[in-house]
């Protein structure tokens, strides 16, 4: 599998397994299926309430810990030094590991507009810097942070974020955020890389899929990968899991990438960092 290199030299798989709402019902078996399909990057979060199931699956899978890339996140209600440490230690315990490959701030803020969110972000990040320097986290980053959230944070911290997860997909590419992150040498990863049903069923996507002998989902993932954006698609069936990994034997042409980039905004989840 292709790897993306973070600014600190850590390599991450280009395609990871997104566990949000993917593990309902039989979470442990779903993660075992994902690992059997070939995934080694597992994305989770305290908020997902599936870390214990993931930890149980990892304990039974027989895959050496060093071959896995585990990512978790701290929720906005747990920002601040003491709460973030509590969240981090809780994730380690649930995942049955003594370190995380990456730890992210999940959202820049919550619904309370009177809270000093920058102060809490800074306290959380400074703790994450300490955990990173102590070797308990291999990489630290953000999720759902836009330029106007990142810029003030950068003024208060020593270590620059290594990655930012954003909702990115055909029909919702947030180009201004991509340009900013690349100017800061912050890697980009897409959550919800397949968008919603309207994107998957778009005739323009379907036409390109037919040309390449691929599924629309594979075209949407390849579009992001060809733009140097890592992806964490969700899937509950083994067949879909395997399909989402089978995207490394072709590329889209520059013309196809440009064509897909021009699809009007569609498929947005409705979740925005400033509307939490």
| Residue 55 backbone phi and psi in degrees, to 5 | -60, -40
∠ CA 133-135-138 to the nearest 5 degrees?
Answer: 95
Active-site residue among 17, 39, 48, 132?
48
The dihedral over CA atoms of 175, 177, 179, 185, expressed in degrees to the nearest 10, equals -140
Kind and range of the H or E run holding 18? strand 17-18
Which region holds residue 174: left if phi is over 0, alpha if psi is between -120 and 50, else beta?
left
Q: Among this protein's residues, is 41 annotated catalytic?
A: no
Q: What share of the chain is helix, strand, coil (3-state, %, to 5)?
A: 45, 15, 40
Residues 247 and 243: their CA atoms lie apart, in Å, by 8
Residues 243 and 261: their CA atoms lie apart, in Å, by 23
The residues facing 100 across adjacent strands are 137
∠ CA 136-42-87 to the nearest 5 degrees?
Answer: 45
CB proximity list for 210: less than 8 A, separation 6 or greater? none
Residues 141 and 132: their CA atoms lie apart, in Å, by 11
Which sequence positions are flagged as catalytic?
Answer: 48
């Amino acid at each position: 599998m292709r790897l993306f290199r973070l600014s600190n030299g850590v390599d991450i798989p280009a395609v990871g397994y997104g566990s949000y709402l993917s593990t309902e019902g039989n979470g442990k078996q779903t993660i075992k299926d994902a690992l059997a399909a070939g995934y080694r990057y597992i994305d989770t979060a305290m908020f997902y309430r599936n870390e214990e199931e993931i930890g149980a699956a990892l304990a039974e899978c027989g895959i050496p810990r060093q071959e896995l890339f585990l990512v978790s996140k701290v929720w906005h209600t747990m920002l601040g030094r003491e709460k973030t440490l509590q969240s981090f230690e809780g994730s380690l315990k649930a995942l049955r590991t003594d370190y995380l490959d990456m730890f992210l701030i999940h959202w820049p803020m919550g619904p309370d507009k009177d809270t000093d969110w920058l102060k809490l972000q800074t306290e959380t990040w400074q703790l994450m810097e300490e955990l990173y320097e102590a070797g308990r986290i291999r990489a630290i980053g953000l999720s759902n942070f836009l330029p106007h959230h990142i810029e003030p944070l950068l003024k208060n911290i020593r270590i620059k974020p290594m990655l930012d997860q954003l909702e990115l997909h055909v029909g919702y590419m947030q180009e201004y955020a991509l340009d900013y992150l690349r100017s800061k040498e912050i890697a980009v990863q897409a959550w919800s890389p397949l968008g919603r049903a309207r994107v998957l069923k778009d005739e323009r996507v379907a036409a390109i899929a037919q040309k390449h002998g691929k599924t629309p989902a594979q075209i949407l993932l390849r579009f992001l990968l060809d733009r140097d954006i890592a992806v964490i698609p969700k899937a509950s069936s083994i067949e879909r899991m395997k399909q989402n990994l089978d995207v490394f034997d072709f590329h889209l042409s520059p013309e196809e990438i440009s064509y897909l980039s021009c699809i009007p905004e569609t498929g947005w989840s409705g979740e925005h960092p400033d509307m939490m």
